Amino acid sequence: MSTEITVPALGESVTEGSIGEWLKQPGDAVAADEPIASLETDKVAVDVPSPVAGVLQEHRAAVGDTVEVGAIIAIIEEGATGAASGEEAGRKAQQADAGEEKREEADKDLANAAQTLSPAVRRAVLEHGVDPSTIKGTGKDGRLTKEDVLAAAKAKGDPSPAPSPAPTPSPAPAVATGERKEERVKMTRMRQTIAKRLKGAQEEAALLTTFNDVDMSAVIEARTKYKDMFAKKHDIRLGFMGFFAKAACLALKDVPSVNAYIEGDEIVYHDYVDISVAVSAPNGLVVPVIRDADQKGFARIEKDIADFGARAKEGTLTMADMTGGTFTISNGGVFGSLMSTPIINPPQSAVLGLHRIEDRPVAVNGEVVIRPMMYIALSYDHRLIDGREAVTALKIIKEAIEDPTRMLIDL
């Protein structure tokens, strides 16, 4: 009996995606609930599992095609596992291409692996031809990360380069003119969406950025003093983001317009704080949300951030993780940024940009001293937030960071 595989529901307001990668080819045996394709949506990569065991008969869409929710993308012949084995063996006997044989061997390894691999990890396994069942995962609950696969490939002496982090169609042949080369690679769906959203934010909102600098001495001292106790009690390290998240909550409560957004001709205010945290993922920048950050302690916030970071690398964040958010924090400092003007994440009206910490000479009580300083920036929609409100909010964040005893550390 033939079973149609359709595009599953992809999340609130998401009606379509594109085929990022076929994980199974026609003739391949498929187990029930085994992923057969990876879909790219505006925010995340989503695996499409087979609801039945059988043989993949055909693809109804190609890599890169846009498909709507409910569209048929593949046909599975249910219960034909025996036939699959024979067809697959016959197909392998006819394959002369060494690269294709390597992929077949990797597919076997994936089928035998006793764990679910994310799209990014699966692509790395196929690219480097390693056996995932022999690799110890360092991700949450022992799951494999792409870094685990790359390390295993390097350990066995695999000379092949690391795979591209984003699933893209094969690039067009390079155009050579002497020693100068060009190549064209289609933008991933996520990158296209990021481009549209950022440009849309610039065109729609009246963007303005206000800056301040923060003496990080007190936070560094607090982390040094309490990090061991904190880690022992809560099983998580005490990071800088927890401090800034709690400081932002103080500011957003005092200046509610910074935590609001415009909807039509109305202003929507929130009596809660859901902080979107910008995280770098294989497919691009994503912004999972710390729900009710104003109600959470340092430990819970740090655990949420650590979990988001791990799952972003594994490619296992869901649409639900990134839905909503009333305010965003983006930390360009981890990449070495000294100063920037971050762009708001619509429909939000403000974003806090953090930057690198560096020792600088500052005047304290009439004397020049060296202190660990950080520039912070608040970009905001001037249609809703006045300059006085933006400056006040950023000043509250600065004061809370410079005097962290104002914030409760959950010890």
Output the six-digit token pair for 311: 């799952």
Of 33, 228, 292, 382, the active-site residue reads: 382
Long-range pairs of 195-199 with CB within 8 A, sequence gap ≥ 24? 197/345, 197/346, 198/343
Parallel/antiparallel/unpaired status of strands 275-277 and 289-290? antiparallel
Distance between start and end Cα atoms, the chain: 60
Say how far apart CA 112 and CA 137 lie, in whole Å: 16
Nearest to 350 by CA among 338, 342, 361: 342
Helix axes 119-128, 98-112, angle to 10 degrees: 130
Phi-psi region of 29 (alpha: psi -120 to 50; beta: other; left: phi over 0): beta
Beta bridge partners of 267: 262
* Active-site residue, 386 included: yes
Of 254, 292, 386, 403, the active-site residue reads: 386
Nearest to 280 by CA among 244, 304, 315, 245: 315
Other CB atoms within a 10 A radius of the CB of residue 41 amount to: 20
Output the six-digit token pair for 168: 């893209």
* Active-site residue, 355 included: no
Neighbour-count burial of 17, counting CB atoms closer than 10 A to its CB (0-12 exposed, 13-18 middle, 19+ buried): buried
Sequence-ordered list of residues with C-beta below 8 angstroms from that of 25, at least 6 positions apart, any chain: 56
Catalytic positions: 382, 386
